[in-house]
Structure 1
Amino acid sequence: MASVSVQTKSVRKLKVGHIAAHLVLGGFGLVLFYPLIFMILSGFFTSDEFQTTVLGILPIPKEPTLWNYRILFYGSTDTSVRVYILNSLFRTLYSTFFAVLTSFLAGYAFARLKFKGKDGLFLSLLATQMIPGTIALIPTYLQYARWPYAGGNDIFTGGTGLLDTWWVYLLGGPAINIMGMFLVKQSLEKVPYELDEAAKMDGAGTLRVIFQVLLPLQLPIMAFIAITTALGTWNDFITPFFYTNSDHLQTLPSAITRLTSAAKGGYSSPNYPIIITLGLGTTLPALLIFFFFQKYIVQGLANTGIKG
């Protein structure tokens, strides 16, 4: 009887502990999701009501409207919002594709090929990760602005170069993801060379070994590189904000920044409900990508032997 009572007490303590843990986690979850809830509710306001209403903890509009969400999903009358969304999608897909491709090929070269200066080149590339990105803003700007024979530039006079053109995205997008290259190299070094030799003995060429034998083994890491690159590119506002001026070249993050500094839609002040709704449109895809593909991030890091 004594043992039964002890077990009953331990079960009760366990249940109480679980309930307390869930309450604490639920409270933290509400705190973390509160900004998202605030943004969703703010999207139902008109600009006039938003400016004249004293907002509480949960902003509830008296006359809710779907106008802001219609603009987010279908574009405004001048289709600018639709252009921003399409630009963000194109840039994200383009940069992600090339980041995955170049990271895998560079990682393969450093893991499998033998050439002079390989270790020094690899360490030099890793060293660039210690340089803050803001330091490269001015050199990159000058590089785009002084691009020869573009935008009025010649050998005698200057011009705009590649600034405010699609080349800013096309040339700046397909860069090597240094961290992705490092992860691929670390993972491929754990794959025995005998696998390559066995494939070549069966008649496979170099490209077939790379893309049909080694690449399938790196799919978790490729997914990790794709997810992190997509998130970073989708949320990036520095590139379009600093290197472009035309409205048709803007992405969602840069467009939101411009909207906050200018009156839109005939209002005497910025239309905050549409700005918040566009911010929601920028945030939700990133949250959904992370929520559904977070396991690939864990698998990608686990396959390289990196723990943190």
Structure 2
Amino acid sequence: MKESFAKKLAFQLKPGNFIAHLILLSVGLVLLYPLVFMVLAGFFTRDEFTSSIIGLLPIAKAPTLHNFFVLFYGSADAGIQKYFINSGYRTIYNTFWALLTSLLAGYVFARLRFKGKDQLFLILLGTQMIPGTIALIPTYLEFARFPFAGGNNIFTGGSGILDTWWVYFIGGPSLNIMGAFLVKQSIEKIPYELDEAAKVDGAGTFRIIFQILLPLQLPIMAFIAITTALATWNDFATPFFYTSSDKLQTLPAAITRLSSAAASPGAIPNWPLIITLGLGMTVPALLIFFFFQKYIVQGLANTGIKG
């Protein structure tokens, strides 16, 4: 065992390996620096932060936990806890629908045969090339006129479902095209004889999907869940453009609201609190990625996509 350990140590200490590890360590420290800066800045008060010369590693002379208490307990802004809850609900809701639509759409395009299937799938994939910002105004008009020219004021258009929970309930779930593509690629690798054997045993379509094919798609579904959860958690555009009520805002909206003080004449933004809230947004996303990154690799590997 000692001999084996010595060989491994000698291999690791080879000049080429040592330099490679040194480079990776340096890159890792650079990538971690923003997170370290955010943590250290959270110990500042607003007055000290604005009056100090901030270096690469800001060290507060009179450290305080006030900003972290605000982050976790909302002591200075009661809405912060509500923003956390809204962000969490949206993330769970959108992730559930992304998984469901990806599985069903992937099955349809992988197993069913109908005229124009390939052309329709190519059109759906083509929509992924359209930047999301282009759809902001059409989506706004769609929400403002939903249903029947606004419903609440049919003659002038009304406000439709703008600034209501329906923005999240209707506008949130949609066909996850990339997820459907990954599920389709994975299902096509599964022999169709498996479906036929299940049908002989009396299994219907939904039983085949959820009891036979779904267990084989778990790495793919985990990948879809992780990417959708991260995108929804960090989503700023939806609450910013389509809602205005405080009760509907999410955590990115809280940061925007505090940052808006910078535009007020003579106002001093509470940068330490803003940075701490940004830390609250970043850490959950980092934890999700850190603990579930292997599923991202497995999910892409199962579809035959190489990166």
Alignment of 1:68-217 (within 5 A): 68-148=67-147, 153-217=152-216
TM-score, length-normalised on structure 2? 0.92
Q: Secondary structure at the match of 2:14?
A: helix
Q: CA deviation at 1:173?
A: 1.4
Q: Secondary structure at the match of 1:262?
A: helix
AA partner of residue 82 (structure 1): Q
Identity of paired residues, percent?
73
User: CA contact under 8 A between 2:164 and 2:243: conserved in structure 1?
Assistant: yes
> Separation in 2 of the partners of 1:81 and 1:13?
48
User: CA contact under 8 A between 1:68 and 1:274: conserved in structure 2?
Assistant: yes
User: CA contact under 8 A between 1:46 and 1:65: conserved in structure 2?
Assistant: yes
Q: CA deviation at 1:151?
A: 6.4
> Separation in 2 of the partners of 1:244 and 1:150?
18
AA partner of residue 138 (structure 1): I
Report how many aligned residue pairs link the two structures.
297
User: CA contact under 8 A between 2:11 and 2:17: conserved in structure 1?
Assistant: no
- Does residue 67 (structure 1) correspond to residue 72 (structure 2)? The answer is no
* Change over 3 Å in CA distance of 1:150–1:281 after alignment to 2: farther
User: CA contact under 8 A between 2:235 and 2:252: conserved in structure 1?
Assistant: yes
> Separation in 2 of the partners of 1:142 and 1:80?
29
Q: Secondary structure at the match of 1:261?
A: helix
What's 1:51 paired with?
A: 50
User: CA contact under 8 A between 2:145 and 2:151: conserved in structure 1?
Assistant: no
Q: CA deviation at 1:26?
A: 1.5
User: CA contact under 8 A between 2:220 and 2:300: conserved in structure 1?
Assistant: yes
Q: Secondary structure at the match of 1:31?
A: helix
- Does residue 42 (structure 1) correspond to residue 27 (structure 2)? The answer is no
Structure 2: 5+ residue runs without aligned partners?
1-6
Q: CA deviation at 1:199?
A: 1.4
Q: CA deviation at 1:114?
A: 1.6
* Change over 3 Å in CA distance of 1:210–1:13 after alignment to 2: closer
> Separation in 1 of the partners of 2:13 and 2:281?
42
Q: CA deviation at 1:57?
A: 1.4
What's 2:28 paired with?
A: 29
User: CA contact under 8 A between 1:100 and 1:226: conserved in structure 2?
Assistant: yes
> Separation in 2 of the partners of 1:13 and 1:259?
49
Structure 1: 5+ residue runs without aligned partners?
1-7
What's 2:3 paired with?
A: none
What's 1:289 paired with?
A: 288
* Change over 3 Å in CA distance of 1:13–1:33 after alignment to 2: closer
> Separation in 1 of the partners of 2:275 and 2:13?
43
> Separation in 2 of the partners of 1:150 and 1:56?
55
Instruction: Map Cα deviations across residues 132-190 of structure 1 (whole Å, 9 max, x no partner).
Output: 11110110011011113686634322221111111111111110110000011111111
What's 1:277 paired with?
A: 276
> Separation in 1 of the partners of 2:295 and 2:211?
20
> Separation in 1 of the partners of 2:199 and 2:240?
49
> Separation in 2 of the partners of 1:13 and 1:174?
49
Deviation larger for 125-134 or 115-124: 115-124
Once superposed, which parts of structure 1, at least 4 consecutive aligned residues long, lie more than 4 Å away? Answer: 11-14, 149-152
CA RMSD of aligned residues (A): 2.0
Instruction: Map Cα deviations across residues 92-113 of structure 1 (whole Å, 9 max, x no partner).
Output: 1100000010111011011111
- Does residue 233 (structure 1) correspond to residue 247 (structure 2)? The answer is no
